[in-house]
């Protein structure tokens, strides 16, 4: 069995305070901090993942965290999205409006890199008394995309690793099919 190595760029998109930075911290460092600090500009984090296929594949996932202000999209979208292999689109389960805004984020991505794999997360599901987002809402808003949305919690870790793993698998399938 041969070892293969790939390097991919993944962008997290979504409005302010949906939990993008917290999801990355949970996935990469296995920590959760509930103090909110707005991301200014872009932060890049690396995580190496392993996939067993016909070969042993090591994936260096460069994870780009972007500030959620809508004005940022038009200002720096070309630089941010350029070269992206996949997108993790994040909504806040306690704010239904953040689900619909994902269309604009994905349109911005598509303008720069075309179609790339997308995984949707409705984050903060641990705040069960404040939930506004239902599976029906996710299905009706995001059903046109080739990706089943997941509920997640950066606090508990629910579906965090699974989301990044799923995105990595979809990137391998679409961008590196020769690695089978």
Mind listing the pLDDT tens digit for each residue in 10-33?
Answer: 999 999 899 999 999 999 999 998
**Number of domains present in the structure of the chain:** 1
Structural domain boundaries enclosing 13: 3-174
Q: CA 6, 7, 9: angle at the middle one, nearest 5? A: 140
Residue 42: inside a domain: yes
Element (H, E) at 44: strand 42-52
- Of the pLDDT bands very low, low, confident and very high (cuts 50, 70, 90), residue 78 is confident
**What is residue 53's predicted lDDT score, i.e. its pLDDT?**
84
Span 98-119, pLDDT tens digits: 999 999 999 989 999 999 999 9
Residue 179: inside a domain: no
Work out the mean pLDDT of the chain and round it to a whole number.
Answer: 90
- Of the pLDDT bands very low, low, confident and very high (cuts 50, 70, 90), residue 132 is very high
Residue 180: inside a domain: no
Assess whether pLDDT exceeds 80 at residue 129.
yes
- pTM comes to 0.92
How far apart, in whole angstroms, are the C-alpha atoms of residue 107 and residue 104? 5
Q: How would you classify the pairing of strands 56-66 and 42-52?
A: antiparallel
Domain of residue 111, CATH code: 3.40.50.300
89 phi, psi to nearest 5 deg:
-100, 120
How far apart, in whole angstroms, are the C-alpha atoms of residue 97 and residue 64? 23
């Amino acid at each position: 069995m041969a070892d293969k190595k790939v390097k991919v760029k993944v962008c997290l998109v979504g409005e302010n305070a949906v939990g993008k930075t917290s999801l990355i911290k949970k996935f990469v460092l296995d920590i959760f901090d509930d103090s909110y600090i707005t991301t200014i500009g872009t932060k890049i984090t690396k995580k190496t993942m392993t996939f067993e296929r016909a070969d042993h594949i090591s994936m260096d996932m460069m994870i780009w965290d972007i500030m959620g202000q809508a004005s940022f999209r038009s200002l720096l979208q070309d630089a941010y999205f350029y070269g992206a292999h996949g997108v993790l689109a994040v909504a806040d389960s306690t704010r239904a409006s953040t689900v619909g805004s994902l269309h604009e984020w994905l349109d911005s991505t598509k303008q720069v890199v075309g179609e790339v794999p997308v995984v949707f997360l409705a984050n903060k599901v641990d705040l069960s008394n404040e939930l506004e987002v239902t599976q029906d809402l996710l299905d009706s808003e995001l059903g046109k995309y080739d990706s089943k949305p997941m509920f997640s919690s950066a606090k508990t870790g629910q579906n965090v690793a699974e989301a990044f793993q799923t995105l990595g698998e979809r990137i391998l399938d679409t961008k590196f099919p020769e690695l089978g």
